[in-house]
Amino acid sequence: MRLNRKNKTVASNFGDYKKDGHNWITLATGEFYPDILPQACELYKPVLVLFGQFIQSSESSAALFRQICAVSEGWMRIQLARVFRKYVSPNTPVEMLKKKASCERIIEYFGKEFRPVNEVQQAYSTRPIPDEALCAVLWEYKDRGKKGYDLTAKLFKTLRDQFPTLTVQGPEGAGKDILLSDIFTNYPNLSRPVDFVIYDEDKTSILAIGLARYDSDRGGAQEDDRTGGYFNCAQEFFMYMKLNKLRMKLIFLNDGPGLLLGSMWDDYARLERSQKGKIAVLTLRMIPERLTLDWLRS
């Protein structure tokens, strides 16, 4: 079943597209190995050189980590922390390493498991500079999240082209998410983020809020976490709508080959059916066919 142009409503469920789902997903451009190595080595060689200088001047792995935490330039400090994780403390959570203020807490929690600095020095000395293998690993971090940012940028362009009289707001890149508590009075979840808000022609009436995610590869527990989180978001949002006698739509833009894995497609179809007529689960390619002004305003 496809869109009824005379009716101009969302006619068909996300699940109806499953049989030819590969035709409805967007594939982000990727980079080939080993083509990335020259750029990766050029970018990360200074990081590896500085790391080598630090390990030679550190009497312990804890002292090495303190030197890294003292680096003022954010990008360099984060790259050094990632190298530290590979050489010294693979069990340390990546997100903790990013926070300069977590230095002493990391040493307290994980310091007993740090590899001794003399072993780190020995291991480092066996590798060439630049170390192509490690540079390739670090390169993988470089564009993490970029596919999601690209998806959001394409979404905004598509919505603005399709609905030129409406206003679409949200971070177009690595900006700060919109918190629903900043939009709605007494919203129960102060930390509930969304990626975009669609306003009507008056630029004050909200028609829909939405989340956008690109899944390049997702399955198993990650799959359950994503869809489970979306169900919780929808339940919370529409409970607030009901209590405050508001009418708005909820859009989940999900795209990428991860949709074809496991039960993802079926789970998203079930999510859309859970609030009949109030939720749209879309890929970018579905927007012209499934998202209409009449549905947004209904």
Give the tens place of pLDDT for each residue, 263-289. 889 999 999 999 989 999 999 999 999
Cα separation, 24 vs 245, whole angstroms: 35
Cβ neighbours of 245 (radius 10 Å): 6
Predicted local distance difference test score (pLDDT) of residue 1: 41
Residue 2's closest CA among 296, 213, 289?
289
175 versus 14: the higher-pLDDT residue is 14
Predicted local distance difference test score (pLDDT) of residue 108: 95
pLDDT tens profile 10-51: 547 899 999 999 999 987 767 889 999 999 999 999 999 999
Predicted local distance difference test score (pLDDT) of residue 97: 84
Tokens of 233: 């978001």
Q: What is the mean pLDDT of the chain?
A: 89
pLDDT interval class at 5 (50, 70, 90)? very low
Cα separation, 81 vs 79, whole angstroms: 5
Single-letter amino acid, residue 130? P
196 versus 221: the higher-pLDDT residue is 196
pLDDT interval class at 223 (50, 70, 90)? low
Whether residue 103 has pLDDT greater than 60: yes
Cα separation, 217 vs 28, whole angstroms: 12
Cα separation, 192 vs 195, whole angstroms: 10
Domains recognised in the chain with CATH numbers: 14-29+145-297 (3.40.580), 37-142 (no CATH)
70 versus 221: the higher-pLDDT residue is 70
**Residues 254, 227: contact at Cβ < 8 Å?**
no
Overall residue count recorded for the chain in this entry = 298
**Residue at token pair 């451009």:** 29
**Residues 259, 268: contact at Cβ < 8 Å?**
yes
Cα separation, 253 vs 281, whole angstroms: 6
